[in-house]
Amino acid sequence: MRLILVSLFLIIYAIFTIPARFVGVAVRRIAPENGQIYAQNCVVVGFKIILFLSGVKVTVKGKENILHDRAALYIYNHRGFFDILIGYTTAPKRTAFVSKKEIEKVPMISWWMKCMKCLFLDRENIREGMKTILEGIELLKNGTSIYIAPEGSRNKGDGILPFHKGSFKLADKSNCPIVPVAINNTDAVFEKQFPWIKSQHVIIEYCEPIYIEEMDKAERKRVDEKVREILLERTKINAKDL
């Protein structure tokens, strides 16, 4: 039943995006920054409705650690499709997600993502991947926060997969803070009983920011290990509250 409701909503939302896109184009021409925020607002409204229809109860911990006054790199552990919905409905304005290159080919989704300045990472092409990282560094320097999952792909098992160190170049080269984001139970909403959607309690915790500009060279090199340890600890603790 929930899958049917979400599917019907997505059809309605796709129709809604036709006039909304024209408005978005106009806003972007007048003020590009406002166009980015407009797109994010439209997506957040849609995502909140999907979460409601899916019966997902969201508990947000560590709201005080969300940085609204400066851009930050939000590092999250990747459990499932609903990570994106939970992330965007709790992230600050302006925030861009890093997604796999294949998503760029999905018509409606890719348009909104491009409006929000999301990045499409090609992990198979080192040169193209580096270009994407450089684009991300510029976004951070210009005030757009970035959400990225250094595991590279969705974790289907327990714990957290090894991190790709390249993700942390975004913070290292822009000197922006890193905010670890621990996510629990999103895979239980969809992936564990694919293709059905099941009502679940999901926890997302924004952990204390790590200010990379305050670290020495040795600490910077190990920052990926530090973030992974934090996420491992917090996901284990939060699992007890589910």
Domains (range + CATH), the chain: 56-239 (3.40.1130.10)
Q: What is the pLDDT of residue 163?
A: 93
Tokens of 23: 């408005």
Report CA torsion sign: 101, 67, 49, 11.
negative
* Model confidence band, residue 24 (pLDDT cutoffs 50, 70, 90): confident
In what helix (H) or strand (E) does residue 174 lie, and over which residues does it extend? helix 169-174
Task: Kindly state the percentage of the chain with pLDDT values over 70.
Answer: 100
Helices (runs of H) and strands (runs of E) counted in the chain: 8, 7
Please classify residue 100 by burial: count the beta carbons closer than 10 Å to its beta carbon, then call 0-12 exposed, 13-18 middle and 19+ buried. Answer: middle
Q: What is the pLDDT of residue 16?
A: 83
Alpha-carbon distance of 223 to 212, in angstroms, equals: 8
Q: What is the pLDDT of residue 121?
A: 87
Closest CA to 45 of 72, 26, 80, 20: 20
Of residues 206 and 23, more confidence is placed in: 206
